[in-house]
Amino acid sequence: MGKALLDIIIVNYNTADFIGISLYALKKLTRNSYQVFIRDNNSKLEDYLKLKKIVKNYNNVFLERVRTKLGGSMAHGTALNALVKKVDTPYFSILDADAIWLKKNWDQILISKINNKVKAIGTQASGNKPQDFPLMYAILFETKAFNELGINFRPADVVKLQDTGYELREKYLRVGYRGINLEMRNTRVYKKGLFKDLMVAEYYLGKGHYLFASHFGRGSTLGANKHLGASKRYLYRVPVLGRHFLYKKGKREKEKWIRICKEIVDKQISYAKI
């Protein structure tokens, strides 16, 4: 295959199905040679074995499994620190397990925007987080600049918005680098996109408003809390039973999100053959 131009790193925690569609999209849509490094953060054995089976279909995807007593953002940030050390390419991408690149030649498009000032391009943060620099879910970095800054992905204080990767913005801006955001559209309010019937994030690039990426945003839990916050249905608020129905709703949304992602990928490939 020759020397890869970029590495892609992903942390898994009971999210094999999400990573499965992401790997499929990478294979179909990535223009340059690449490798994928996945660290499994002590998922349930069933999920890990499912992911292990998926990975066998790719000769450029490498999976490792670790035992850890850490949880949540601390486990995620620690895993990212370990994965970044494997990067040996001019560029690399971090993908949340439930995030996906959806634009054909996504890598070449983003790499072409890297220059002496722009060193990172990726997903815009939501809510009250800073909006002037790409934050976690899907980001492409120039490796040299990243290594200069000594980023630590472990969170410091989640309550103070110092969650996974909080150092990125501060350290890049401090030395005069900047990033480019992919504009986020939350489908709770944006009802015109391809994911309009779900509760996810869509990301768009530039004046052409190309759908570039998506983030399911609820990972292994399928987001009971997020659904609850948006729902006024009494049934979802009944203890135990309500959580069961919320999980079922999240599972249906996950399956639909994966199906739509595959359709988006396949449509671009079929167009390319015409």
Size of the chain in residues: 274
Task: Look up residue 124 and give its DSSP letter.
Answer: P
Predicted confidence pLDDT, tens digits, the chain (274 residues) = 458 999 999 999 999 999 999 999 999 999 999 999 999 998 999 999 999 999 999 999 999 999 888 777 888 999 999 999 999 999 999 999 999 999 999 999 999 999 999 999 999 987 777 788 998 899 999 999 999 999 999 887 655 556 788 889 999 999 999 999 999 999 988 988 899 999 899 999 977 678 999 999 876 566 544 544 444 455 555 555 666 777 788 889 999 999 999 999 999 998 765 4
3-class secondary-structure state, position 248? helix
**With contact defined as beta carbons under 8 Å apart, do 247 and 226 qualify?**
no
What integer pLDDT is reported at residue 188 of this predicted model?
A: 87
pTM value is 0.90
- Per-domain residue ranges for the chain? 6-221
Distance CA(105)–CA(107), nearest Å, equals 5
What integer pLDDT is reported at residue 96 of this predicted model?
A: 95
What integer pLDDT is reported at residue 160 of this predicted model?
A: 57
Distance CA(214)–CA(203), nearest Å, equals 6
What integer pLDDT is reported at residue 158 of this predicted model?
A: 57
- How is domain 6-221 classified at the architecture level of CATH? Alpha-Beta Complex (3.90)
Give, rounded to a whole angstrom, the gap between the first and last alpha carbons of the chain. Answer: 27
